A and B are shown apart, each in its own frame.
Chain A
Amino acid sequence: MSKIMTVDILSSIKGAQPSEAVNKLFDVIKNANSNNTSINTNHNHVVSLNNLRKDEVINSSSIEKQIIIENFPKEKKGYLVVSKVIEE
C-alpha cells in the first residue's frame, strides 16, 4: 500500500482535489506575520481537566435505543447489516 495519502483518500471522497479558493486562504496563513509564530500557543481555547464528568456508563432510554436502531441504514432478518470488510 502506498504511504502517500492523498486528500481524496484522507477525506473518503472520490476524486477530491484541493480547492483554489481554500488554498488562497491557507496562503494568507503561510505568509502571516512571522515575528510571533512559535508553535507554543497559549492554549487559550482548551478545556480544563478539572471538574470533568464522571467516567461512567449511562444507559440510554428505551425510546433513544429504538430511534438509534430505526436510524440504522440497513436491516436483514432482524440483523443490522454493515459493509463487507476486506483486508489489504
Chain B
Amino acid sequence: MESQIHKIHQQLVNKEITCTRLVQDRLNLLKENTYNTVNSLLDQQALKLANKVDAKIAKGETIGLLEGIPFGIKDVYMVQGTLTTASSDILKNYKSPYTATAIQKLLDAGAIPLVKENCDSFGHGSSSENTIFGAVKNAVNSNLVGGGSSGGSAVNVAKDYTVFSIGGDTGGSIRQPAGYNNVYGFKPTYGRVSRFGLIAYASSTDCVGPIAKSTEDIRIVLNAISGKDEKDQTTFHSDAISKERSLKTIAIKTVGYFKNFVENDALDHQIKTDFLAYLEKIKKTGVEVKELEFFESDTLVSTYYTLAMAETASNLSRLDGTNYGERLEAENLKDTYAITRSENFSEESKRRIVGGNQLLSQGFSDEIYLKGLNIRDQISNNFEKDFKEVDIILSPVTPATPPKIGDSLKDPLTMYLSDAYTVGFSLGELPTLTVPKGTSTGLQISAAKKNDELVLQFANFLNDLI
C-alpha cells in the first residue's frame, strides 16, 4: 500500500482537506467504533493542534511531513495531563505527569495524538482481552481477538482510525497483532528508541515501535522516534534511514529460515504451506535461501517468560497504592499493599508477578532465573553466528490464526506458547518487522542488531515481489 503519511501530507499542503476536518473525522470514527480500541480520546488537544496546523497552511508556511498527521498511542505511554491506565484497575485514574520521549518527538514533529489505545494490562497478554476496557476485536473478523498486547493500536491502523500508532513490543506485542490484523508492525533494535515514559513490563526486552499500513510510513515514524536519550541509558545513536536507502534491495543475497519453526507440530498447516511457497518465490528471484538450526519453541517461550516474569515482578512492585494509583485502605501498611494489589491487578498480571517472585526467590534463582539468562546468551550467540551466514531471517509471525475471543483467557499456557515465533527475536534484541504478506498472519523479517535498515530494504524487496 502507498504511504498514508505522504498522501495526507500532500492533501493538506494542496488544501484538499483541512487538518481540523481530518482530525474530527478520525475522532468520530474512533468514538463510534465497536472494536473496543479506545481507552480515552484526546479530542480537545487534538483539535487545538489541528487548528494550529490549518493556521500555518493558511499563512502559506511550510509544514513538516508529520505535521497534522493523526496517530494513536498504546495506553502504556505517558502523555502529560492525559490518563495512562495500562488498561488496568490500579491505574484507571492515573494521570501522566510527563511525556514519553518517543511521543514527545512525534509531538515536536507536529503529529497529532488522537487516542490512548486499548491493550493487555501492562502488556501482559497476547490477545488484548486482559483489559478493563473490554476485549479488542479483530479488524478482519470481530469474533476473533485483536491480538496483543498492542491490539487496539493494530486494529485502529487496520480500520484507518489512525494513520499510524505507537505500540510496545516486549515479546511480540507489536508484531503479533500487526500479523493478526494485516498491517505492518516494527520492533526496532532494542535501544534504538527510548523507553522513557513507557510503563515498564520487562525492561530488558521492552521496545517502542510503529504500526502502520506501509513500509514507508514505518520508516518515517521510526526516524522520528529514534535516537539516544539520556533518560534511557540503553539507547544508542542511530542515523536516519533515507527513503532512497530503504529502497536499495541489492544488499540482500541470502535469506535464512528456522527449520524447527517450520517442522513444529503446532504450526497451522495452511500457514506452513504458504510460508514454504513464499520461500520458493524468493528463491526464484536469485536470492539464496538457507535452512538454519534454532532453539526449540518451548525453550524460547520458557526463557522469555522466565525473564519477563522476573522483570515484571520487580517493575510492578512499585504499584502498591501509596503514592499513586487506586488504594484500598486496610488495618496497616502491609495489608493495604496486599489488598490494593490483590483487588486491582488482573488474574494474568498476578500470575506473572507471582511467577516472577517465585523464580527470584532463594533456591529457584540459580536453578531457573540464572539458567534462563544463560540460555538467553546462547540464543544471542546463535543469532550472531546465523547472521554471519545470512542477511535476513524470515519466519512466520504466529503458529496459528487468531483465536476466538474468550479462548486465550481459559488456557494461559497455550497463550504463552502462541508467542513461540516472536519471543526469540526479542531475547536477541533484533530489529524485526511484521509484513502482511505470505501467510494469513504475515511474515516476520529479522536482521542483525542495529541493522534496522536492512529489514526495511527486504520488506521493500518483498513489496516488489508479485
Q: Which residues of A contact B (CB under 8 A)?
A: 5, 7-8, 10-19, 21-22, 24-26, 28-30, 32, 36-39, 41-45, 47, 52-53, 60, 63-65, 67-68, 70-74, 82-86
Contact A82/B368 with A13-B350, A13-B354, A71-B97 known, Cβ cut-off 8 Å:
no
Q: How far is the CA of A32 from the CA of B298 in the complex (A)?
A: 10
Say yes or no: is B142 at the interface (Cβ < 8 Å to chain A). Answer: no
- Cβ-closest chain A residue relative to B353: A11
Report B448 CB to chain A, min CB distance, Å: 13
Say yes or no: is B137 at the interface (Cβ < 8 Å to chain A). Answer: no
Q: How far is the CA of A84 from the CA of B333 in the complex (A)?
A: 6
Q: How far is the CA of A70 from the CA of B323 in the complex (A)?
A: 10
7 further A-B pairs in the complex, CB-CB below 8 A; given A25-B302, A28-B298: A11-B313, A12-B338, A14-B338, A19-B412, A22-B305, A38-B374, A67-B81
**Number of residue pairs A-B, CB distance < 8 angstroms:** 178
Write out the residue numbers on chain A whose beta carbons fall within 8 Å of the beta carbon of B305.
Answer: 22, 25
Contact pick for A22, options B98, B321, B355, CB 8 Å? B355
Write out the residue numbers on chain B whose beta carbons fall within 8 Å of the beta carbon of A67.
Answer: 80-81, 95-97
Contact A12/B301 with A19-B354, A41-B374 known, Cβ cut-off 8 Å:
no
Main secondary structure of the interface of A (DSSP, over half): loop
Interface string of B316-335 (1 = CB under 8 A from A): 01001111111101111110
B327 close to A74 (CB less than 8 A): yes
Report A33 CB to chain B, min CB distance, Å: 8
Write out the residue numbers on chain A whose beta carbons fall within 8 Å of the beta carbon of B331.
Answer: 84
Write out the residue numbers on chain B whose beta carbons fall within 8 Å of the beta carbon of A32.
Answer: 299, 302-303, 371, 375
Say yes or no: is B380 at the interface (Cβ < 8 Å to chain A). Answer: yes
Q: Which residues of B contact A (CB under 8 A)?
A: 80-81, 94-98, 204, 230-231, 233-234, 298-299, 301-303, 305-306, 309, 313, 317, 320-327, 329-334, 336-339, 341-342, 345, 350-355, 357-359, 361, 364, 366-368, 370-378, 380-381, 412-413, 416, 429
Contact A29/B309 with A11-B353, A22-B355 known, Cβ cut-off 8 Å:
no
Report A2 CB to chain B, min CB distance, Å: 14
Q: How far is the CA of A29 from the CA of B299 in the complex (A)?
A: 7
A16 close to B354 (CB less than 8 A): yes
B367 close to A12 (CB less than 8 A): no
Write out the residue numbers on chain B whose beta carbons fall within 8 Å of the beta carbon of A19.
Answer: 351, 354-355, 412
